[in-house]
Amino acid sequence: MTAATHPSPQPASPQSSAHQGPAPQPASRRRRFRPRRRGVEAKPRFAIVVTALFFVLLYLPIAMVVLFSFNSQKSLTVFKHFSTRWYSAFFHDHVLLSSLGMSLKISLVAMIGSVVLGVALALGLVRARGRLGTYSGLIMLVPLITPEIVTGVASLMLYKGLNITLSTGTVMISEITFSISYVTVILRSRVAALNPEVEEAAMDLGATRWQALRLVTLPALLPAILASAVLIFALVFDDFVLAYFTTGVDPQPLAVRIYSAIRFGVEPTINAVGTLMLAGSITLIAVALSIPRLFGRSGGLDLLSGD
């Protein structure tokens, strides 16, 4: 019997190689690329740790204030039982309530004044031609990068130089001046995104310039106007530095009143007030960010770009 002969292997044709796909890579080459792929897909653990540490340092003191505002005892270090005792004490404190009313009044006036002037300034900066508009835009941004304490001291020196007695009116004027830049930054890009031909078409149909502004431009800017108004209200209500330098004797804004109170020791009532201010500020900012969605825009408001 003769041994069975096996057919010799035939070389693969180019057509068959194309159907079989790319040739498998050697094992040594796959091992060489594997560590690099794991490095790309691996989670950035150091960045996660730093981010977590940042949030802990930022929000842990605030969480302690909220926690001890519900403490049944006066202690600020030992939490015993849940209670709303200090919230009730706040709503029966006429001095703090008068300061709260003053802060709300200042915030409302500053919101209206800064929005009206900010809208006019945004329209003027966008519609201005040449270098005047560019330089004015740069000057408008200076208050945003100036330390607030410098603005407060400058306002105090101005009022003293003009022999103006510090009062609620001086706080309102200072807050309006400081808040105009925020409104202008938010509205400026929205004004630039509007098509001026729409306003020109309204004037071609017989509308005056004021009617075109009132019936065409302002309704298109309404979401950004409302969002900036809510944001300014929250900023002014929480502001301490500018109010401290420009306020009179009584009634003082709530932030200044709290500072005057904690110099003689922190009372649990202050924790309750701080918790209420925090809740109010978060609510107002959430409303400001969601207002564009209520008007049919797909995205929210970008507070940095105004879009």
Top mean-pLDDT range of 175-184, 221-230, 266-275, 292-301: 175-184
Q: How far apart are CA 299 and CA 87, in angstroms?
A: 37
Residue 12 confidence (pLDDT) above 50: no
Provide the residue ranges of all domains of the chain, joining segments of one domain with +.
94-295
Q: What is the mean pLDDT of the chain?
A: 79
Q: How far apart are CA 18 and CA 201, in angstroms?
A: 63
Prediction pTM value: 0.71
Please state the separation of Cα 227 from the chain's center in Å.
Answer: 11
Residue 5 confidence (pLDDT) above 60: no
- Whether 107 contacts 233, CB under 8 Å: yes
CATH class name, domain 94-295 = mainly alpha
Q: In 10 A of CB 209, how many CB atoms? A: 10
Mean pLDDT in residue range 229-243: 87
- Look at 21-25, 153-157, 206-210 and tell me which has the smallest mean pLDDT: 21-25
**Three-class secondary structure of residue 108 per DSSP:** helix
Residue 29 confidence (pLDDT) above 60: no
Residue 255 confidence (pLDDT) above 90: no
- Whether 66 contacts 275, CB under 8 Å: yes
| Model confidence band, residue 178 (pLDDT cutoffs 50, 70, 90) | confident
Q: How far apart are CA 121 and CA 184, in angstroms?
A: 7
**Three-class secondary structure of residue 12 per DSSP:** coil
pLDDT at 110: 93
Q: How far apart are CA 256 and CA 277, in angstroms?
A: 13
Mean pLDDT in residue range 157-175: 90
- For residue 242, CA distances in Å to 43, 144, 236, 305 come to 44, 14, 9, 25
Q: How far apart are CA 271 and CA 279, in angstroms?
A: 12
